[in-house]
C-alpha cells in the first residue's frame, strides 16, 4: 500500500520558566494508507505532543517543533504556510480528543460544530452542510439525528459527545484520523462501543488511524502496528501480534506485565514498573529507562541505544537482548 505519512526525526520542545522540556526527542515512523498505528506509553511520554506536532497543534509559545520532517502525501507539513496547514487540519487529517466533555464548545449547537469543517473545507452551503451533518450523526450512531442537530453539548452524554467528536473528525473524509486517547474519559462499556465504532468506520471509509492510548488492551484488537514511547522516544515498534507475543524492550515487558490477565490467579498482585519516568527537562545521559530497568548493564548508563531491527518489522532500542540476557537487578529503583 502507498505510504501516507513519514515522520523523520521529529523533535518538539517546550520553553518554560524551569527550562527546556524535551517532550519529543527525534521520533521516526511511517504509516501506510488505511493502516492503524497504536501508540502506547505512560502519561507524559510525548504521545500526544508527538501527534499534535504532526499538524502543528502545539501551543506556541511555549511549544516549538525544533526539528524533523513530517511528510504527508509527499509534502512536508512542517514547512508549509499557516493557511496551508489549516486546509489540511480537519480536511485530510481529522482528530478526536481525550475528553468529550470539554472538547465541544458549550455555547454552540452540535449542528454548528459539525458543519463548520464542511463549510470550511468542502465549500458546502448551509443546507448541504446540515444534510451531511445528519448523515454523519447517523453514521456514528446517534438516534433521531436530524432532531438533535440544534441541541447543545450539555444535552448529550459523554459517550454521545465522543460520537459527535468522531463525526466532526470524520466529516471531510480524512485520509488520517488521529485519536488521542478517545476512550480514556469514558466508562468501560462505552469505551468498547467507541473502539468498535472507529474500527467499523475505518473499515468502511478506508482511512489510516493513529490511536494513542496508555491502555494496551484497548488497541490490541484494532491496531496493525504499535509504537511504544518512553521519555519522548520510540523504544519499540512492532506488528501488534509480534509486540504482545515477543516484546523486546524491558519497558514493553513491564507494560505488558502490568496488565490484568484472565488466566491470572485471584489475589495475585499486578506487576508494576517501579519508579517514575525521567525529568524531561534534564534527561539523563544514556538510556532513559536505565533507572527503572531490570535488564540494565553498565553500557546503558552512558550510551543511548538506537532503534534497531530485532526481527521482521520489529525494532527496539535496547542494548540487551531480553530473550537471551538475564535480569540483572530485581528491584532497580531502590538500587539506582
Per CB under 8 A, residues contacting another protein are 55, 57, 59, 83, 86-91, 94-95, 97, 99, 102-108, 116-117, 120-121, 151, 155, 165, 168, 171
Measured from the CB atom, is 116 or 224 closer to another protein?
Answer: 116
- State the nearest-atom distance from the C-beta of 159 to another protein, in Å: 17
Burial 198-216 (b: 16+ CB within 10 A, else e): bbebbeeeebbbbbbbbeb
CA distance 258 to 237: 19
Q: How far is the CB of 260 from another protein (least distance, A)?
A: 30
- Which parts of 158-299 fold into alpha helices (H)? 158-170, 188-205, 216-220, 240-245, 250-257
CB of 311 to another protein, least distance (A): 36
In the chain, how long is the greatest CA-to-CA distance?
Answer: 67
Q: How far is CA 45 from CA 21, 120, 210, 284, 321, in A?
A: 11, 34, 16, 15, 23
Distance of alpha carbon 303 from alpha carbon 285, whole angstroms: 7
- Smaller CB separation from another protein, 174 or 332: 174
33/99 with CB nearer another protein: 99
Smaller CB separation from another protein, 85 or 131 = 85
Q: Which residue lies nearer to another protein by CB, 114 or 243?
A: 114
CB of 146 to another protein, least distance (A): 16
Task: Give min distance, CB of 178 to another protein, in A.
Answer: 8
Helix (H/G/I), strand (E/B), else coil: 21 = strand
For another protein, which is the closer residue by CB, 16 or 258? 16
Name the minimum Å distance from CB 234 to another protein: 23
Question: What is the β-pairing status of strands 75-76 and 3-16?
Answer: unpaired
The whole-angstrom separation of Cα 232 and Cα 215 is 18
Amino acid at each position: 500500500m502507498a505510504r501516507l505519512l513519514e515522520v523523520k526525526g521529529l523533535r518538539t520542545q517546550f520553553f518554560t520558566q524551569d527550562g527546556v522540556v524535551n517532550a519529543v526527542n527525534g521520533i521516526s515512523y511511517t504509516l501506510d494508507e488505511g493502516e492503524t498505528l497504536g501508540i502506547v506509553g505512560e502519561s507524559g511520554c510525548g504521545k500526544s505532543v508527538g501527534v499534535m506536532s504532526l499538524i502543528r497543534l502545539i501551543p506556541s509559545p511555549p511549544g516549538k517543533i525544533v526539528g524533523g520532517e513530517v511528510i504527508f502525501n509527499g509534502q512536508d507539513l512542517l514547512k508549509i504556510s499557516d493557511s496551508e496547514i489549516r486546509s489540511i487540519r480537519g480536511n485530510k487529517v481529522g482528530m478526536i480528543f481525550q475528553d468529550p466533555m470539554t472538547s465541544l464548545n458549550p455555547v454552540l449547537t452540535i449542528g454548528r460544530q459539525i458543519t463548520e469543517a464542511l463549510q470550511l473545507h468542502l465549500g458546502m452551503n448551509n443546507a448541504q452542510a446540515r444534510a451531511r451533518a445528519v448523515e454523519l450523526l447517523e453514521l456514528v450512531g446517534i438516534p433521531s439525528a436530524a432532531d438533535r442537530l440544534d441541541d447543545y453539548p450539555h444535552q448529550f452524554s459523554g459517550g454521545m459527545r465522543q460520537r459527535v467528536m468522531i463525526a466532526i473528525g470524520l466529516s471531510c473524509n480524512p485520509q488520517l484520523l488521529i485519536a488521542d486517547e478517545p476512550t480514556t474519559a469514558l466508562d468501560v462499556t462505552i469505551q468498547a462501543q467507541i473502539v468498535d465504532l472507529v474500527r467499523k468506520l475505518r473499515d468502511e471509509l478506508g482511512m489510516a488511524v493513529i490511536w494513542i492510548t496508555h491502555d494496551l488492551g484497548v488497541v490490541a484488537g484494532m491496531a496493525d502496528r504499535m509504537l511504544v514511547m518512553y521519555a519522548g522516544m520510540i523504544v519499540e515498534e512492532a506488528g501488534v501480534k509480534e509486540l504482545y507475543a515477543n516484546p523486546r524492550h524491558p519497558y514493553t515487558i513491564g507494560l505488558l506485565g502490568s496488565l490484568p490477565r484472565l488466566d491470572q490467579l485471584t489475589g495475585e498482585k499486578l506487576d508494576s514498573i517501579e519508579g517514575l519516568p525521567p525529568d524531561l527537562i534534564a534527561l539523563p545521559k544514556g538510556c532513559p529507562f536505565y533507572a527503572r530497568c531490570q535488564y540494565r548493564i553498565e553500557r546503558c548508563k552512558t550510551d543511548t541505544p538506537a532503534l534497531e531491527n530485532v526481527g521482521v518489522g520489529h525494532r527496539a532500542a535496547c542494548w540487551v537482548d531480553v530473550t537471551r540476557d538475564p535480569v540483572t537487578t530485581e528491584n532497580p529503583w531502590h538500587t539506582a
